[in-house]
Every structure is written in structure tokens, then in C-alpha cells.
Amino acid sequence: DAKTTQPTSMDCAEGRAANLPCNHSTISGNEYVYWYRQIHSQGPQYIIHGLKNNETNEMASLIITEDRKSSTLILPHATLRDTAVYYCIVRVYRSARQLTFGSGTQLTVLP
């Protein structure tokens, strides 16, 4: 699976949009971008995934650049409960292999 690069930490004001970037310049054509997060003392939680088109669900939006070498996870109205470590993971479509977690981005939502 392709390697990803994320900033170590970010802050966001409560109620504002949180934009978390991820670089995956070596992504292959059959690899999807997945986002998970880990809230303190909980297990990782799936957020969203995408291939090349922008995706949106009830939790977040995912914007993938046209060349697919980077993406941005958007939490449109961040709350204090969104404070967590966010992981960007690239993996092959239909793969049941393990997830490879990097160091992720610690997002702190400030009141």
C-alpha cells in the first residue's frame, strides 16, 4: 500500500471547518484513499473513502485532487467531540489486508 504524509497536528475553532490534508504521491490506480480517526481511549473509527471523485457522507467530505496525489478531509462544522487523531490510509480496492496506520494528524478543536 502507498505511503501517506500528514501534518503532525492542527487546531480548529469549534463550529468552523476543519481541513486535514494528506499527501499520497505514490498512489496506484487501483488504490483508494481511506480516512479513519481515533478519539482518545477509543478504537479507530472509519470516516470515509474515495477513489477520484469527491465524496460526502454524514460525517465528512473528501476532496481528492485530479492527479490523485493528495486529498483533504473536511469536517464542515467541527465540534469538541471531533478532537482526535486522523489517519489517511491508502489501500487497494477490495483488499481485506490489514490497515497500515501512520502517525496521523492530531486535530484539536478549540472552544
Interacting residues with other proteins (CB under 8 A): 32, 34, 38, 41-46, 49, 93-103
The distance of closest approach from Cβ of residue 111 to other proteins in the complex, given in angstroms and rounded to an integer, is 26
Distance CA 71, CA 77 (A): 19
Residue 15 in grid coordinates: 463550529
37 residue type, one letter: R
Among residues 14, 7, 24, 34, which one has the least CA distance to residue 75?
A: 14
Task: State the minimum distance, in angstroms, from the CB of residue 89 to other proteins.
Answer: 10
Q: How far is the CB of 88 from other proteins (least distance, A)?
A: 13
**Complex with other proteins: residue 5 or 95, whichever CB lies closer:** 95
Nearer residue to other proteins within complex by CB, 21 or 44: 44
DSSP-assigned letter for residue 8: S
| C-alpha pair distances (Å), 1 with each of 7, 28, 33 | 20, 9, 10
Torsion-angle region of residue 64: left (phi > 0), alpha (psi -120 to 50) or beta?
Answer: beta
Q: How far is the CB of 15 from other proteins (least distance, A)?
A: 28
Closest CB to other proteins among 80 and 92? 92
Residue 43 or residue 111: which is nearer to other proteins going by CB? 43
